[in-house]
């Protein structure tokens, strides 16, 4: 079950491998937010004039100083392979594994429509906190993952979803605990923990490794890669747009933009990296995970441009499948099926 319904904690999760992410704290911190007309049943309403104050964000110089922490060694062997396959309902679904940036095997699901000219455009699907890649194959969850995935496949797109670091099948990285860990009063205290920033950085590196893998697949057009991310996955969209040139466009659904718990991974700081890349933000006016007025003001101050759009829904963190047509339209506009 996807439990991404309240502000993310500052995770305290056991780990086996440390990263250098803590050094990012030396580079400063900051972020933005948004607001709009009442959403109708056919889609979201566009942003209105800002009514509040934008979130703070770090300087562009500090932003650039953080980017090397998302680097990885592309020469490391991928060892990518298909471990399971389903051929039904007009699609080919494969479970794949490959070596992530720190040597863990990363599980993923790749699904391709059987019809359509090859090579296919690919949309990466990024789940939320406490979820997993499987959420995109489920209909009744907070991200409406099944309807979004099915809409993309029906429009002629291949899709690829990973388990984020420490999530889903990758809970082995945290001794099989859930990311919202149960504190056993009878167990010894745990030491050595992942922070949210470390989880975010590792996930971004592994999506970059995933692109290295799909580049070996003749069915995928590497010139047409986009992403749809929900909640934490929407936050990841800001990091990936900042560091991965192979990603051409993004849809970020209900991403919280700023929190002390995110440390050096608050998405507002990575709004510097959006630049001219197409970005659609889909937000819930009743969402308690961010301040709608600050989001609105942050969008206008930091993000708004000819290739960006902000839409609002009269919803909370669960937009329901109302967002799917708007997300699909954005993908089709900026990542056309040929």
Q: Is residue 329 part of a domain?
A: yes
Check residue 271 and give its pLDDT.
98
Query: Domain residues for 158?
Result: 34-334
Average the pLDDT over each of 100-104, 224-228, 265-269, 324-328 and give the range with the smallest value.
100-104
How many whole angstroms separate alpha carbon 73 and alpha carbon 80?
Answer: 16
Check residue 38 and give its pLDDT.
38
**pLDDT at residue 23 greater than cutoff 80:** no
- Number of structural domains, the chain? 1
Contact partners, residue 182, CB within 8 Å, separation at least 6 = none
3 state SS for the chain: CCCCCCCCCCCCEECCCCCHHHHHHHHCCCCCECCECCCECCECEEECCCCCCCCCCCCHHHHHHHHHHHCCCCCCCCCCEEEEEEEECCEEEEEEEEECCCCCEEEEEEEEECCCCCCEEEEEEECCCCCCHHHHHCCCCCCCHHHHHHHHHHCCCEEEEECCCCCHHHHHHHCCCCCCCCCCCCCCCCCCEECHHHHHHHHHHHHHHHHHHHCCCCCEEEEEEEEEEECHHHHHHHHHHHHCCCCCEEEEECCCCCCHHHHHHCHHHHHHHCCCCCEEEEEECCCCCCCHHHHHHHHHHHHCCCCEEEEEECCCCCCHHHHHHHHHHHHHHHCCCC
Find the mean pLDDT for residues 238-264.
96
Q: Is residue 1 part of a domain?
A: no
Q: Is residue 27 part of a domain?
A: no
Specify the higher pLDDT residue, 144 or 102. 144
**pLDDT at residue 42 greater than cutoff 90:** no
Q: Is residue 106 part of a domain?
A: yes
What phi and psi values does residue 303 have, to the nearest 5 degrees?
Answer: -115, -35
- Could you tell me the pTM of the whole model? 0.86
Average the pLDDT over each of 33-47, 78-92, 156-170, 186-200 and give the range with the smallest value.
33-47
pLDDT tens-digit series, residues 133-161: 999 999 989 999 999 999 999 999 999 99
Confidence of residue 177 (pLDDT cuts 50, 70, 90): low
Specify the higher pLDDT residue, 42 or 228. 228
Q: Is residue 24 part of a domain?
A: no
What CATH number does the domain containing 40 carry?
Answer: 3.40.50.1820
Q: Which of 239, 315, 307 is nearest to 273 (CA)?
A: 239
- In the chain, the percentage of residues whose pLDDT exceeds 70 is 80
Average the pLDDT over each of 167-181, 208-222, 268-282 and give the range with the smallest value.
167-181
Q: Is residue 146 part of a domain?
A: yes
Check residue 119 and give its pLDDT.
98
252 burial (CB, 10 Å; 0-12 / 13-18 / 19+) is buried
37 burial (CB, 10 Å; 0-12 / 13-18 / 19+) is middle
Check residue 21 and give its pLDDT.
41
**CA distances from residue 90 to 10, 133, 152, 153, 320 in whole angstroms, order as listed:** 42, 21, 13, 9, 25
Q: Is residue 14 part of a domain?
A: no
Q: Could you tell me if 197 and 24 are in contact, meaning their C-beta atoms sit under 8 angstroms apart?
A: yes
pLDDT tens-digit series, residues 121-137: 999 999 998 788 999 99
How many whole angstroms separate alpha carbon 78 and alpha carbon 307?
Answer: 34
**pLDDT at residue 210 greater than cutoff 90:** yes
Apex CA 153: angle with CA 324 and CA 330, to 5°?
40
């Amino acid at each position: 079950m996807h439990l991404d319904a309240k502000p993310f904690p500052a995770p305290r999760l056991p780990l086996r491998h440390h990263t250098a992410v803590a050094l990012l704290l030396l580079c400063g911190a900051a972020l933005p937010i948004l607001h709009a007309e009442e959403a109708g049943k056919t889609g979201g309403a566009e942003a209105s004039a800002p009514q509040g104050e934008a979130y703070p964000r770090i300087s562009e110089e500090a932003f650039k100083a953080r980017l090397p922490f998302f680097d990885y060694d592309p020469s490391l062997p991928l060892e990518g392979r298909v471990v399971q396959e389903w051929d039904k309902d007009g699609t080919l679904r494969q479970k794949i594994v490959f070596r992530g940036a720190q040597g863990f095997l990363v599980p993923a699901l790749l699904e391709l429509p059987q019809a359509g000219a090859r090579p296919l455009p690919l949309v990466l699907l990024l789940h939320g906190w406490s979820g997993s890649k499987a959420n995109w194959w489920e209909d009744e969850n907070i991200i409406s993952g099944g309807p979004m995935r099915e809409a993309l496949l029906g429009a002629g797109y291949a899709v690829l979803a990973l388990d984020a670091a420490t999530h889903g099948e990758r809970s082995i990285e945290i001794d099989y605990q859930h990311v919202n860990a149960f504190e056993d009063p009878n167990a010894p205290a745990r030491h050595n923990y992942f922070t949210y920033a470390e989880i975010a950085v590792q996930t971004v590196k592994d999506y970059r490794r995933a692109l290295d893998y799909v580049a070996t697949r003749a069915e995928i057009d590497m010139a047409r890669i986009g992403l749809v991310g929900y909640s934490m996955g929407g936050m990841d969209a800001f990091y990936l747009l900042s560091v991965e040139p192979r990603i051409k466009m993004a849809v970020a659904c209900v991403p919280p933009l700023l929190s002390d718990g995110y440390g050096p991974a608050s998405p507002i700081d990575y709004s510097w990296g959006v630049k001219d890349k197409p970005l659609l933000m889909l937000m819930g006016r009743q969402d308690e995970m961010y301040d709608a007025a600050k989001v609105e003001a942050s969008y206008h101050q930091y993000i708004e441009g000819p290739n960006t759009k902000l839409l609002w829904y009269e919803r909370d963190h669960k937009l329901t499948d109302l967002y799917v047509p708007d997300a699909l339209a954005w993908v089709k506009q900026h990542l056309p099926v040929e």
